[in-house]
Amino acid sequence: MSKGKFIVIEGLDGSGKATQTKLICEKLTKKNKKFCKLSFPNYDEPSSALVKMYLNSEFGNSPDDVNVYAAASFYAVDRYASYKKFWQENYENGQIIIADRYTTSNEIYQLCRLKKSQWDEYLCWLEDYEYNKLGLPKPDLVAYLDMPVEVSQKLMQNRYNGDNSKKDLYEKNVEFLKKCRETAMYTAQKFDWKVVPCSEGEKPKPISEINGLLENLIEPLI
């Protein structure tokens, strides 16, 4: 049996990844398609312990207090545990895999902490580490939900009812997130991700419109 199709929904915090992933899965259910829905990091599992410590600032108050290769490894190991424990069999038996974040987040969030001259070296290392050394599946499609940080921050204010203390290490650092958007677009171009524009100026596009754009990308694969 051939392996399933693997689709990743990527984007910065507040871009609508969880909402769009949910809608995609609802439509796959209506079409009687077998699928497995994933979300990373997998906070319910022990494998995410180092990720939670990192995001809760237990290693320092700035992302730069942990070097990019160590931080990338925290997330990669969590993905590896998830793959071996929960979805390897589904994938190898032909099921569609829908993931909210993946290796792609390691490419965005860690890359922006490096000098631009080091970007390609890091991306080469990460792709080899996760896809070759760890043996994690490579996505068939990465759809990047592109939304300006100023817009996504307003949406996150609603998510947390205006309580900024609930934001994690990344979410509370607006300048860092702006750099992440730059690295996301760089990585998208390098690895042929499909960029989905999610705003018109300072306003987010309707959820249904964004979902329609995603459907057009996903439909040919399934």
pLDDT at 222 over 60: yes
What does the pLDDT average to over 87-100? Answer: 97
Is residue 45 situated within a structural domain?
Answer: yes
Is residue 34 situated within a structural domain?
Answer: yes
pLDDT band at 134 (very low <50, low <70, confident <90, very high): very high
Is residue 134 situated within a structural domain?
Answer: yes
- What does residue 154 show for φ and ψ, rounded to 5 degrees? -65, -40
pLDDT band at 89 (very low <50, low <70, confident <90, very high): very high
For the chain, the domain total comes to 1
Question: What mean pLDDT value characterizes the chain?
Answer: 91
Q: What does the pLDDT look like over 138-173, one tens digit per residue?
A: 999 999 999 988 887 777 665 555 555 555 555 567
Report d(CA 46, CA 43) in Å as an integer. 8
Is residue 1 situated within a structural domain?
Answer: no
Which structural domain, as residue segments, surrounds residue 46? 6-221
Of 20, 10, 21, nearest in space to 205 by CA: 20
Is residue 215 situated within a structural domain?
Answer: yes
What does the pLDDT average to over 37-52? Answer: 96
Looking at residue 156, its pLDDT comes to: 65
Q: Output the domain CATH number for residue 93.
A: 3.40.50.300
What does the pLDDT average to over 193-201? Answer: 94
SS3 for the chain is CCCCCEEEEEECCCCCHHHHHHHHHHHHHHCCCCEEEEECCCCCCHHHHHHHHHHCCCCCCCHHHCCHHHHHHHHHHHHHHHHHHHHHHHHHCCCEEEEECCHHHHHHHHHCCCCHHHHHHHHHHHHHHHHHHCCCCCCCEEEEEECCHHHHHHHHHHHCCCCHHHCCCCCCCHHHHHHHHHHHHHHHHHHCCEEEECEECCEECCHHHHHHHHHHHHHHHC
Q: What does the pLDDT look like over 111-129, one tens digit per residue?
A: 999 999 999 999 999 999 9
Is residue 164 situated within a structural domain?
Answer: yes
Looking at residue 61, its pLDDT comes to: 81
